[in-house]
Amino acid sequence: MLPAWTRPRAAASLAVAAATTALLTAPQSRAAPPPSQYHGLRPVQPTPLSLDQERIVVHCPPAHDTLRCNVSAHYVLSNPAQEPAESDAPVVSTGIADVRVAQDGRPLDVKPWALHVRVPAGGTTTIDVSFTLSFASSVPGLESTGEPTTAMQARHPLLGGDTRNAPAHPVFFHWSKGWSGSPQRLFDVRYPAGWKLHGSQWRAQGAVTQRSVARELATSDTPVDVDLRKAPPAVPIVPGGPVVAAGSAISQGFRMRYGYELGVFDWMLPAINADVDYAGLLVLTPSVEYATAARLPVPSLSAGVGLPMRLRPNSRAGARFKLSAVMVAGVEATFDYYPSDRDWETTLAARLSL
């Protein structure tokens, strides 16, 4: 049992810790990086060389947190002239690293921006460009978009951050320009279940090959934007985190509360709590709350019900009604009714969650 003179200090210490944690866990925002761009083969000067085919395949093997997608771009160039033709044809991209180039199946030891193509009279050649893209299931610390913070993010920023609202970060694929001819254009995206394809050109969901959409783009110069994000589960459960609260039950004295919360969807908070007074009291309470999103300066607000089961000093069960306002730290009020005693117990407490 805590001495009586230590109880106010315990509550004060909790309040200080709550304020400190709120400051330390405040997200450090940074601006989202600009989208990556792939511009394909771009001849530097007018050329008689014809681009007959342009095929881009984005293939993403199964992954849990980060998709690492292999991108291959295949180009078929022909020379309809009666004499050899050549052209500087740099591979143009921004925000894409480790670009590799091969001609007629042989890797070239040249920088992508220094590619030079020579095709004999009446002949053809193939250029293959390959690189890797990554799509993360979440991008922490990005600059706020003004959207409300979910209840679980507001209450448990360290352990219960919700990654389902990862910001868009598309990659734009531009069709090659400056060549003679009208190329056949194909664009395939292959990705595993559990991820969702976003972009202005895409409609289908799941693990699919998007050839039909690519054919519709064959006469368009509109770039193809590809963004893959983790698909939320049918019943999304967020891990949540522990809760500790200190306060007072009106007319009955000091209370400490220890518990753990989960998140279901963006608004339901199942929890289990233990109330003690360090003098023999023990109350276990499973509960569920409806919680709102938070938008500064308004915290996440919640209301819920529970089933308090007093185990010591005497056994009895009742009903709990609960209200709270939380942004990492906050306040909560509980109203317990015990039918056997026809007794109400009201507790007001300051709380801290991780």
pLDDT exceeds cutoff 90 at 5: no
Average pLDDT over residues 88-103: 92
| CA neighbor of 41 nearest in space, from 94, 104, 90 | 90
Average pLDDT over residues 159-187: 76
% pLDDT > 90, the chain: 48
pLDDT exceeds cutoff 70 at 103: yes
Task: Count other C-beta atoms under 10 Å from residue 96's C-beta.
Answer: 17
Distance CA 354, CA 56 (A): 45
With tokens 């001819």, the residue in question is 181
Residues 6+ apart with CB under 8 A from 12: none
Residue 191: which pLDDT band, with cuts at 50, 70 and 90? confident
pLDDT exceeds cutoff 90 at 75: yes
> Could you tell me which residue, 107 or 29, shows the higher pLDDT?
107
pLDDT at res. 102: 95
Residue 17: which pLDDT band, with cuts at 50, 70 and 90? very low
193 neighbors 125 (Cβ within 8 angstroms)? no
Residue 141: which pLDDT band, with cuts at 50, 70 and 90? very low
pLDDT at res. 167: 62
> Could you tell me which residue, 297 or 142, shows the higher pLDDT?
297
For 320, counting Cβ atoms within 10 Å of its Cβ (0-12 exposed, 13-18 middle, 19+ buried), the class is buried
Alpha helices in the chain (DSSP H): 7-24, 151-155, 211-216
Bridge pairing between strands 36-41 and 171-173: parallel
Residue 73: which pLDDT band, with cuts at 50, 70 and 90? very high
pLDDT at res. 203: 56
With tokens 């609202």, the residue in question is 165
Summarize pLDDT for 105-118 with one digit per residue, the tens: 999 988 888 999 99
pLDDT exceeds cutoff 50 at 1: no
Distance CA 138, CA 135 (A): 9
Q: What are phi and psi of 24, to 5 degrees?
A: -70, -30
> Could you tell me which residue, 159 or 113, shows the higher pLDDT?
113
pLDDT at res. 10: 46
CB-hemisphere CA count at 13 Å for 85?
21
Q: What are phi and psi of 50, to 5 degrees?
A: -105, 135
CB-hemisphere CA count at 13 Å for 313?
4
Q: Find which of 29-33, 95-99, 230-234 is predicted with most confidence, using mean pLDDT.
A: 95-99
pLDDT at res. 158: 75
Distance CA 255, CA 278 (A): 8
Q: What mean pLDDT is reported for the chain?
A: 82
Summarize pLDDT for 258-288 with one digit per residue, the tens: 999 998 887 899 999 999 999 999 999 999 9
pLDDT exceeds cutoff 60 at 35: yes
Distance CA 269, CA 237 (A): 10
With tokens 């993360």, the residue in question is 136
136 neighbors 65 (Cβ within 8 angstroms)? yes
Residue type at 192 in one-letter notation: P
Domains, in order of start, for the chain: 37-230 (2.60.40), 235-353 (2.40.160.20)
Summarize pLDDT for 323-347 with one digit per residue, the tens: 999 999 999 999 999 998 888 999 9
Distance CA 266, CA 100 (A): 43
The pTM of the full predicted model, rounded to 2 decimals, is: 0.62
